[in-house]
Chain A
């Protein structure tokens, strides 16, 4: 196990460094001159030059990268070009809202996907299986923004059961907070629920074909007992891993879902940074997102290796 952790660390750390290089280069090299963006077209050459020196932009690229990285590691992501606010405080305000959104969507997808996958596998080729599989195909094929709009049209505009958007912290007002999050959760979680359902179905079918199941049958246990006591637990491991792998989808999807449901979260911060070409904010957003996503995958991999002894720790 120890060696496996080292091996995964040897992959994890270079990726984090790579992520920081990409975020840095994307903004400092590809986006042209951030100072001109900042000062607008009316600025004179002297003004531009003055600000460049002030911000240390005339230093060689690797020096700038290292000083930027040092700042980031100390929690200083710079200031927004548009509003002048500190990027780290913008991130700290918006991220919890998005985590509520993503976490709820993940819970929803597990809560629906796993039972549906078990039913599908147990009653393989039945009408339940076909129905669930068809729904799952629909779930991965419908764009989350279209689903979100249809949900608003139906449940907010037409039936007026739920609010069409806005955000209230579930910690401040649990009832209103959850009421506002239900539709966004469904819109974001449906695709993931479909993926989870299909994964649970195929991994349960696979586990039920394993040799130890045969051994248990030979010992006289019934198929139902084996399935409920052993197979489902084993099939859960790869299924839950899939949810971890899709944290990136949840964070990316939040950009769209927050726009539709007017949730002032991390996704909105991202979208505004992109639309306003606010590259300092965009840089911070890219870093934080990739860091979250990579770290979740790293942890999921270790947990998976710990739970599944068949993984060789070489």
Chain B
């Protein structure tokens, strides 16, 4: 069993690497993503000063050698705040999508493996969550739970688990019919061993693809929440909130508005390029899954 799982994993990675080599957009996306993650993780430790330090003598400076992306109304360096904001965005989005993946895969495999009342009920709950637009549901959850970074993460997890449940269920339903699963069932293998040992390793590909695309959408969601004033609370810098704060000054200091906006675009674009390449590499069946989700 281990060998089979390992082979599946190796081929997932191998075919992704082959696609990246072929596809320039995917390469760009992968490089961009690696760069952003590196900067987000490392830079805040390397630079000595606090991105929240204000200096009114330097307010609304246009881009210069000293401040490559200019300063905001409190004289804070915009580049620095973008870099630290990357950390917030990536942290919230990846933890939220992680939660969504775990819940969705668990419920989806239960629902697919045990068809009937249990399976159907789980999917009706998923449908119900799906009936609310992502932004509206996330806003309501944060309003009700309270504005805190962890509640934003929880909201992302709750909003996106149904898509993982649907994908997992669909894959489980088809894998379940395969001979090797039926063979295990007939020799009396336990259910959880069949699910974890034999079925799940075979549905990893679509889940990885969906997780990448969901990360892109989750970053958009987090920045929209922050933009509306209900995302990660201050003083942690956040791209969405920077954009919101800059709005009153956008004619005077357009760099303040453009910089965080472009940071979001570049990050989300990179994720979408990578997600698309992963889909081509791993999962040709699943074209345009993205559409269901926004």
Q: Please report the C-alpha to C-alpha distance between residue A270 and residue B261 in the assembled complex, in whole angstroms.
A: 24
Q: Are B124 and A18 in contact (CB under 8 A)?
A: yes
Shortest A106–chain B CB gap in Å is 13
Residues from chain A with a CB closer than 8 A to the CB of B144 are: 26-27, 30-31, 279
Q: Does A14 contact B (CB under 8 A)?
A: yes
Q: Are B228 and A256 in contact (CB under 8 A)?
A: yes
Q: Can you name the residue of chain B whose Cβ is closest to the Cβ of A25?
A: B144
Q: List CB contacts (< 8 Å) of A245-266 with chain B.
A: 245-246, 248-249, 251-253, 255-256, 259
Q: Are A274 and B143 in contact (CB under 8 A)?
A: yes
Q: Does B139 contact A (CB under 8 A)?
A: yes
| Of the residues B140, B254, B268, B294, contact of A153 by C-beta under 8 Å | B254
Between A18, A137, A143, A286, the greatest number of chain B beta carbons within 10 A of the residue's beta carbon is seen for A143
Q: Does A277 contact B (CB under 8 A)?
A: yes
Q: Can you name the residue of chain A whose Cβ is closest to the Cβ of B145?
A: A30
Q: Can you name the residue of chain A whose Cβ is closest to the Cβ of B261?
A: A146
Q: Does A94 contact B (CB under 8 A)?
A: no
Q: Does B22 contact A (CB under 8 A)?
A: no
Q: List CB contacts (< 8 Å) of B239-269 with chain A.
A: 240, 243, 247, 250-251, 254, 257-258, 261, 264-265, 268-269
Q: How would residues 282 to 314 of chain A score, 1 for a CB under 8 Å from any chain B CB and 0 otherwise? A: 100110011001100000000000000000000
Q: Does A138 contact B (CB under 8 A)?
A: yes
Q: Are B264 and A149 in contact (CB under 8 A)?
A: no
Q: Are A143 and B261 in contact (CB under 8 A)?
A: yes
Binding site secondary structure of chain A: helix
Q: Does B133 contact A (CB under 8 A)?
A: yes
Q: Does B227 contact A (CB under 8 A)?
A: yes
Q: Please report the C-alpha to C-alpha distance between residue A253 and residue B220 in the assembled complex, in whole angstroms.
A: 11
Q: Does A271 contact B (CB under 8 A)?
A: yes
With A275-B230, A282-B143 in contact, is A293–B132 under 8 Å at CB? yes
Q: Please report the C-alpha to C-alpha distance between residue A31 and residue B144 in the assembled complex, in whole angstroms.
A: 5
| Of the residues A15, A19, A149, A199, contact of B243 by C-beta under 8 Å | A149
| Of the residues A18, A142, A253, contact of B128 by C-beta under 8 Å | A18
Interface size on A, residues (CB 8 A): 54
Q: Does B127 contact A (CB under 8 A)?
A: yes
Q: Does B179 contact A (CB under 8 A)?
A: no
Q: Are A286 and B140 in contact (CB under 8 A)?
A: yes
Q: Are A256 and B229 in contact (CB under 8 A)?
A: no
Q: Are B134 and A252 in contact (CB under 8 A)?
A: yes
Q: Are A289 and B251 in contact (CB under 8 A)?
A: no
A-B contact pairs, 16 of them (CB 8 A): A15-B131, A18-B124, A22-B128, A27-B144, A137-B269, A141-B216, A142-B261, A143-B240, A144-B224, A146-B243, A150-B258, A153-B251, A248-B294, A255-B228, A286-B140, A290-B132
B: residues with CB less than 8 A from A are 25, 124-125, 127-129, 131-136, 139-145, 216, 220, 223-224, 227-230, 240, 243, 247, 250-251, 254, 257-258, 261, 264-265, 268-269, 272-273, 276, 287-288, 290-292, 294
A: residues with CB less than 8 A from B are 11, 14-15, 18-19, 22, 26-27, 30-31, 134, 137-138, 140-146, 149-150, 152-153, 157, 191, 195, 198-199, 202, 242, 245-246, 248-249, 251-253, 255-256, 259, 270-271, 274-275, 277, 279, 282, 285-286, 289-290, 293-294
